Amino acid sequence: MEEKRVLIGMSGGVDSSVAALLLKEQGYEVIGTTLELFVGSSCCNTNTYLDAKNVCNSMGVPHFIYNYKEEFKNHVIDDFINCYANCKTPNPCIECNKYMKFGYMYEKAKELGCKYIATGHYAKTEYSKEYGRWVLKKSNAGKKDQSYVLWNIPKDLVEHVLFPLADFESKEQIREIARKNNLKVANKPDSEDICFIPDGDYKKFLEINSRLKPKKGNIVNTKGEILGKHTGLYNYTIGQRKGLGISNSVPLFVLGFNKEKNEVIVGEEKELYKKEFIVEDVNLILFDEITKPLKVNTKTRYSAKEYLSTIYPMEDNKIKVVFDEPQRAITPGQSAVFYIDDIVVRRRKNNIA
């Protein structure tokens, strides 16, 4: 395995393109790859492949396309559908990172004799003398930091992951590097939607690709009183206010679901706040195990802020999270991320909110 050989995931966008350029400038032997995951998605189409290949050609870097469509369906799309079928709100990017970028892509990297894999994510890996191990940390990109969606990197893989954009503070800095180096993707817009749902209509996607179909039921309050009708549980998420189609003296929000009775449960905003919840399938990065209560900052959505909390180990690889102050709209299916300062402790999907 070559010490300076790295396989980098190329999306055809400016971030991964500049990341590849920076690695080459740092003396790495760079190999580019684009994973074919879902035909017609925003990251898997002819333009994507051409942009990635053209960027690699301009740098004298080899580029390969590998077909993982079946694996993507099994691990990402099926999980996406299953979450909505069970009244959860998924984050498919997290599953994609786990199985595709830091799963299959790393296996491919080893086949190619690469010691490292890299992506254009805004995050950081480094060796911590304090903890005596390689750690995953926040980048310097502030609100654009993506450490939240990278929780599932196995701790023994962290030292083999490179994030060349870790120390940049803004996207404009990245675009400027691309312009100076005449990369044609310098001004290519970011993709904000779920990659396999480029039109953003996830409800239509679910109805076409699964057994989920519109099924009317009752919208009820916490007393069980019927306030209106819904069009299918998968059309709603915790914290939702708009689109309920009911009138009330005070605004009402989705609090949860009763799957057995096919009910959407609503209530006032103050009822959205909870102080504790449980997470399952824990993936520890900073520690081998947690044996006693630990004070951390917890983030429950990608766009959410972190808040002080205490985590408690439980049986069956679960953790109980207790916030210092109640937090709004903790949602099953999303991931809870624990930080000590800027270092990721662990995270996994919220189970019971």
Q: Write down the pTM of the prediction.
A: 0.92
What band does 191 get if pLDDT is binned at 50, 70 and 90? confident
Q: Which residues in 305-323 are b (16+ Cβ under 10 Å) and which e?
A: eeeebebeeeeeebbbbeb
CA atoms in the 13 A half-sphere facing the CB of 194: 19
**Average pLDDT over every residue of 303-318:** 93
Q: Which amino acid is at 22?
A: L
Task: Give domain 2-180's CATH number out of 3.40.50.800, 3.40.50.620, 3.40.50.150, 1.10.630.10.
Answer: 3.40.50.620
Q: Is 204 a residue whose pLDDT tops 80?
A: yes
Report the alpha-carbon distance of residue 83 to residue 139 in Å, rounded: 30
The two tokens of residue 118 are: 């890299």
Kindly list the domain boundaries of the chain, sorted by start residue.
Answer: 2-180, 214-267, 273-352
Single out the catalytic residue among 43, 56, 96, 114.
96
**Average pLDDT over every residue of 29-45:** 85
Q: What is the pLDDT of residue 352?
A: 45
Say if CB 287 and CB 128 are below 8 A apart: no
CB atoms < 10 A from the CB of 78, how many? 14
Q: What is the pLDDT of residue 44?
A: 67
CATH of domain 214-267: 2.30.30.280
Q: Is 66 a residue whose pLDDT tops 70?
A: yes
CATH class assigned to 273-352 = mainly beta
Q: What is the pLDDT of residue 347?
A: 53
Do 214-267 and 2-180 have the same topology in CATH? no
Q: What is the pLDDT of residue 282?
A: 86
Range of lowest pLDDT (33-42, 76-85, 155-164, 293-302): 33-42
Query: Rounded to a whole number, what is the largest CA-CA distance in the chain?
Result: 67
DSSP secondary structure, 79-118, as one string: HHHHHHHTT----HHHHHIIIIIIIIHHHHHHHTTEEEEE
Total residues belonging to the chain: 353
Q: Is 3 a residue whose pLDDT tops 90?
A: no
Q: What is the pLDDT of residue 38?
A: 87
Higher-pLDDT residue of 39, 313:
313
Give the N- to C-terminal CA distance of the chain in Å, as an integer: 45
Residue 44 bears catalytic tag: no
Q: Is 29 a residue whose pLDDT tops 80?
A: yes
The tokens 């999306």 sit on which residue? Answer: 11
Residue 43 bears catalytic tag: no
The two tokens of residue 240 are: 């939702």
Report the alpha-carbon distance of residue 95 to residue 76 in Å, rounded: 6
pLDDT digits (tens, 9 = 90+) for 271-296: 999 999 999 878 888 998 899 999 99
In the DSSP assignment, the letter for residue 242 is T
